[in-house]
Copies of this chain bind each other. A is one copy, B any other.
Amino acid sequence: METKARVLIDCHDAKGLVYKISRVFYDRDLNIDSNREFVDKENEKFFMRTVVTGKFEINELDAALREVAPKEAHIRVIVPKDKKVVILATKESHALGDILIRHAAGELGATIECVIANHETLRDLVGRFDIPFFYVPAEGLSREAHEAKVMEKINKHDFDYIVLAKYMRILTPSFVAAYPQQIINIHHSFLPAFIGANPYKQAYERGVKIIGATAHFVTDDLDEGPIIAQDVIPVNHRFDWKDMQRAGRDVEKVVLSRALNLVLNDRVFVNGNKTIVF
């Protein structure tokens, strides 16, 4: 029977990589459905994503690729299937709601394991979709203590990614380090403009004519992780910051969903503090 797989390879650049990798596919009589490469010359790094179909064993293909690629190469042979996500939220429903609607329609490309929030506000909405909701209040707890409780909930689930759907709390470095390249955040500004708290108020005070949103992987530095997707909308002098916030919600939810779609389809490589999006 025919199998389809996404093959993702990143390693130091070297001569003949495309040839050697495509020979592995050729030798197994595989079809290349699509193929993209990128060489980051500054850092001499090679990135390749190929979708192949044919009759093959995942393990055997993986082993064959490891044989031709540089030793330190990061190789993934992935049979497409729904990933699993855990969602963290606070009070706002637009980003979470968008994900829930896609999930209900079978269009998310992932199953939602649970939603964890530091407020009760969203319990009702999540309950409407028969998805487990866990309320982990932060009041009276140190950041570390609260995170420990959140991690306890998270770690009870099997998941590929943690989605911060307007989770309005700053994560500690140790939390972030526990889930490398697995945490996806939506920041409510066109980063790196308006880093930090209340970007819409900052944008209003600066008098900008465009506002935006940024979906990114979370790393140690607040709002500094590799950017996956960004988009903007025009505003004008008639917008107060509440209006900007309202208008911005549409961009936020669309950008987060676009980024999720890219990540869940294995289209995103992290390259230092940047992303390669195929």
Residues of A within 8 A of B (CB): 15-20, 22-23, 25-26, 29, 31-42, 93-94, 97-98, 100-102, 104-105, 107, 124-125, 128-129, 190-194, 205-210, 212, 226-232, 234, 236-238, 240, 246, 250, 254, 257-258, 271, 273-277
Contact partner of A19 among B23, B101, B104, B129, CB < 8 A? B23
Q: How many copies does the complex hold?
A: 4
Contacts of A191 in B (CB 8 A): 193, 206, 208
| A231–B209 alpha-carbon span in the complex (Å) | 8
Additional pairs, 8, CB under 8 Å, beyond known A210-B230, A210-B231: A33-B41, A34-B37, A94-B102, A100-B101, A192-B194, A209-B277, A210-B232, A237-B274
User: What residues on B are CB-neighbors of A31 within 8 Å?
Assistant: 15
Given contacts A104-B93, A190-B190, contact A208 B227 (CB under 8 A): yes
CA A30 – CA B272 in complex, angstroms? Answer: 27
How far does the alpha carbon of A205 sit from the alpha carbon of B40 in the complex, in Å?
A: 13
> Which residues from B are CB-within-8-Å of A209?
227-230, 277
Cβ A277 vs Cβ B226 within 8 A: no
B19 touches A237 (CB 8 A): no
Would you call A210 and B190 a contact (CB within 8 A)?
A: yes
CB <8 Å contact, A18 and B35: yes
Kindly state the separation between the CA atoms of A75 and B226 in the bound complex, as whole angstroms.
38
12 CB-based A-B contacts, threshold 8 Å: A18-B35, A22-B22, A33-B41, A93-B104, A97-B104, A101-B101, A205-B273, A207-B275, A210-B232, A236-B277, A237-B271, A250-B254
Say whether B39 contacts A32, CB under 8 Å.
Answer: yes
A19 with B25: CB separation less than 8 A: yes
CB pair A26 B32 closer than 8 Å: no
